[in-house]
Amino acid sequence: MTAAAPARATWAGPVPPPPAQPLPTPPAERGRLTVAPRVVERVAAAAAARVPGAGGVRHGVLGALGGLGGDAADPRTADVGARVDGDVAVVSLALSVRWPEDVRRVVAAVREAVRTEVARTCAVRVLRVDVEVLRLDASVPDRPRVR
């Protein structure tokens, strides 16, 4: 048996244009985007956790005594709540500030970080960021200590 030689393709003429791509649908015609409050809360908590000097709150009786035992919460994560109405939100945070940080500076940085990150990630404009500082925390250092 002999193998047949493969047929060679011949091209006669110009290359046809690619099929026409439909124009993108304008955003107003695509549908509605709804961002759940829990999504805004998680983004806000992550933004606040990245601010130097800001910390979370410890829960439980011994947690209020500087982090002694019984702490189920992550000490770096603030307690966050959010109300979302369409593309605007109001965010509230309860957090600690590490001693001896400037409380006003840390709170201003948290507000700015939350506004920026929620707008960037969720396409939601934050009208107000309410911050409640529950305590000064000397138990969680901002940076590891070198000995």
pLDDT at 13: 67
Across 20-34, 41-55, 112-126, least confident range: 20-34
CATH at 99: 3.30.70.1350
Is 118 inside any structural domain? yes
Query: In total, how many domains does the chain have?
Result: 1
Average confidence (pLDDT) over 43-60: 87
Report the chain's mean pLDDT, rounded to a whole number: 81
Is 22 inside any structural domain? no
DSSP 13-64: SPPPPPPPPPPPPPHHHH------HHHHHHHHHHHHHTSTTEE----STGGG
Query: In 3-state terms, what secondary structure has residue 116?
Result: helix
pLDDT at 125: 97
Q: For residue 63, is pLDDT > 90?
A: no
Is 145 inside any structural domain? no
CA 22 to chain centre: 34
Provide the greatest CA pair distance for the chain.
Answer: 91
Rounded to an integer, what distance in angstroms lies between the CA atom of residue 60 and that of residue 70?
7
Q: For residue 78, is pLDDT > 90?
A: no
Claim: this prediction has a pTM higher than 0.75: no
Is 87 inside any structural domain? yes
Rounded to an integer, what distance in angstroms lies between the CA atom of residue 120 and that of residue 79?
21
Q: For residue 58, is pLDDT > 50?
A: yes
Is 142 inside any structural domain? no
Confidence of residue 102 (pLDDT cuts 50, 70, 90): very high
Give the domain range for residue 53: 34-137
Q: For residue 133, is pLDDT > 70?
A: yes
pLDDT at 70: 35
Rounded to an integer, what distance in angstroms lies between the CA atom of residue 56 and that of residue 137?
9
Is 60 inside any structural domain? yes
Is 90 inside any structural domain? yes
Is 143 inside any structural domain? no
